[in-house]
Structures are given as structure tokens and as C-alpha cells.
Structure 1
Amino acid sequence: MGNKIENKLKALLKEGKKALAWLIDPDKIVEDLSFLQQVKEMSQLNLDFIFIGGSLIEKNDIDRIIKLIKEVDSELPILLFPGSVVQFSNHADGILFLSLISGRNPDLLIGQHVTIAPLLAKSNLEVLPTGYMLIDGGVATSVNYISQTIPLPNNKPELAVATALAGSFLGLRYFYLDAGSGAKKPVSSAIIQNVKKAVSAPIIVGGGLDSLEKVKIAYQAGADLVVIGNGAEKNLSLLTEALEYINVLNLSLNIN
């Protein structure tokens, strides 16, 4: 296992640059040819990562989807974003090893991790220890139901900070602030800003980001990596707009 993904995320943090991940639910890939064309378009715009997974997956199709993506761009990093241990593929490049630190469900804090650990140790996946923090997005989401946990309040940044600090002291190296797929409102700027100040780690933000304006607000608040999933399903051009936006931002940093 190399550290290609870790090095890229650390460079973002050090240089103040921004990145984008496209979250793909493999169950929602309807037609291979159109999907491959979409991947090609995003690759040409320098998409940083593809995340694959979800709270509930009915078809065991992850291997095939990853192989399709790699046919288009073998260098584009693909990370598993698993809702459970069954969402595993050794064809991915890495895995967000998520510990749901905002909840009190022991199975998602450490239980499923123990189950998958021996398999990960034998794989070539880069393992990214990630504190997963579910934030109230104004509506019950699949993550709420599957995880059986209560989200952190979106208007209580001090609770989010305390949770992130605890995760940092436990040795977690990345933090994913998620309002959940289909959230009415994304993670608040106050939570992103305060967590960013509290921990020296890359901050990943997702959920409820269904417009370019919301994406910009997340970046401006301090997100290092923004994840778009449901928003891209409804409007793929949102990915294009977000990539064009961060490409301009990152270019200005290079010039300066």
C-alpha cells in the first residue's frame, strides 16, 4: 500500500488548494456508455477523486463499476465510501475507513472495522482513518436510518468541534462532515469554520450541496475536499461548474 492519496490530501491542506470528489452510488448506474462518457468529461476537467458506495446498496456491482472507470482513466483515484463491510473491492485505490464518531452505535464506531480489518491488511488499498460526523440536514436521511444515530445539530458548532477534537486525539487523520444524501440544507459554515480551526487535518464536506453557490460557501468556510453525489445525479453540470470554479481558485494560488 502506497501513500498516494494521503500525500495528495496533505498537499491540499499545506498549499490551501481545493479538491472535488464525485460520489457514485453503483445502484444508480443505468447505462454503461453514458456513464463512461460522463467519467471521461470529468477526467478531462481534472476531477480529483471518485468515491463509490452508499448507505444501502442492493446490487453487488462495485467491482464492475470500478473497472469501467479505470478503462477511462486508470490514474483517477477511486475510494470506497462504504456503508457496510459488504461494500468492499480490492480494485479500488483506497478506502475511507469511517468511524461514525458523531453517533453512539458501537457497530459503526469499531464493530464493522474489526470484521473487515484482516481483509484490508491483505489488500493493496490505501486505508484512510476518517472521523465521520453526521450533521442534521433538516430531513431524515438514509444514513440516519441505517446508522440508527442522531445527527449533530447544525447550529451547535461547539459540539462538532468537541467531537472532532476527540477523534483527533484518538488518532483519526481525516474528518468528513456530512449532512447526508438528499439533505435540505448542507453543513453550516459555522461548523466547517470551527472544525477547520480546531483540527490540523483535511476537512471533507458533503451532503445537500445541490448548487454551485452552496459548494462555494463550503469551500470558503474551509472545506478542503467537497463531495457531490445526489446533486450530480440530478444535474451533472454541477460537477462541471464546481471543477471549473476550483481550477480557477487553484490556478490563482499557483500564480501568487
Structure 2
Amino acid sequence: MKKSKQKTIHFRKIKEKEVKSILNSFHLESAKEFSGVLIPFKKKYTDYGPLNDKDKGWIEVLAVTMKFFVDYHGNKVAEYNILRFVRLLSVNTIVLQTCYMELFNLYLSTLFDPNGNIRNGGYRILENMKMGLLPSSNKDTKTQKLRKAWMELFFELLRIEEDYTKLNKNLLLKAEMHGRKYRKDSVETNDKFLKNIRRGIEMIDRGFYFDKILEEFGLIEQVRVKEQLEKYYAFKREFKK
């Protein structure tokens, strides 16, 4: 397989040799082999504190890594290795605030991948990015744009879920109802793609900060009232049985 031409990355506190050792290891034949390269890098740059927030070289590292993801398309081991590395990059503040759309799009591209490792790798990137969500009292422009993007991703996943369930009615569902208790979450379906979509929705919607984001953009009532109506109609359907 043809390898990407590596562009020059301008580092300050990042050692070029260490990054290139990662970039040159994506093709390794097993995730275990790649771990031998990734773990020392992870310990140095993330286990003992976040990636250096002021070093824009990480943005260039991410751009090169994304190019590799395209070049290695179809090689599931390489794709998974790349997703693991991107997961580390996604904790960096500059990467998160500058490249969040690229990271979100990468995550969305894994939603319907038949390979479970790839789907999980995409989800883990999103999970890491969630750590960058800050309370709405932070009025920094970049942070506000990021919060808005999270909200838009949430609604996009709801749309994808709705479209998928409409197209795949025969796959519904292990149990949309659990006894008398309304449940519409990832554990209530055996369908691997619907489960993956719902994991993303649940992860974004988890915790105090996301309600604050919905309040910030005037959508808290719209979202929560809709959820209550869904619960009401679900109960009503169940009682008619």
C-alpha cells in the first residue's frame, strides 16, 4: 500500500523523531505491536499531564494523521491504530478548539463501520473530547463555538438515529420498553449500529454541563419537553397492550 508523503512538521516542544515513530507504525500488523510504540509516547505526553497546550505543532500532527487515515482506508488494523493515536491528540486544548469539526467528522465516519474496533475507536475519540466541555460561564469565543458544535452534533446524532430506525423497522428492538419503565438507550437494542449511535447520544447528554449548553442556546425546554412527551406516549402504548 502506498504510504503518505510526510510533510515537514514544525515542532517546538514536540520531538519530531518521536512523532515520526508513531506515523511510521500505523501499518503494523497488530494492535499489540502498535501499543509497543504508542504506550511510551502516551506516558510521556499524556499520562503525566496534557499535551502542551501552546504547541501548534500538534495541529499539524493531526492533519498528517488524518491523511494517513484516508490512505489506509480498508486496512482495519491501521485504521484502528490511527484512531488510537487521534484519541491522544484530542485531549490537547489547541487541537480540540481548532480541529473539533475534523474530529467530529472522523467520529461520524466510524458510526456504521462493520468492524467493531473501528466503531469503538471513533467513540473513544468523542469520549476524550468530552473532557474539553467547560461550563457555560466560560465566555471565551473558541470555547463557545466548541459548545455550539457539541450541541449540533447531538442533534445530528438524533437525526441519524431517527433515519436509521425508520429505514430498519424490522431490526427494532430487543425491548424499547423494560417492564413499565420507559427506556430508549443503547442497551435496549441488539442492532450494532443503532447501539453505536445511541452510545454517542448518551455520552454527549451525560452530565451537568450539557444541560448548561442547552440552556445557553435556549434549547433546554425543547429537548427535555420532547423527551417527556416521548416517555408519555411510550407509557400509553404499553398500557394499551
**Scaled by the length of structure 1, what TM-score is found?**
0.28
Higher relative contact order at CA 8 Å, sep ≥6: structure 1 or structure 2? 1
Normalising by structure 2, we get a TM-score of 0.29
**Bigger share in helix:** 2
Give the structure with higher Rg (CA): 2
Higher strand share: 1
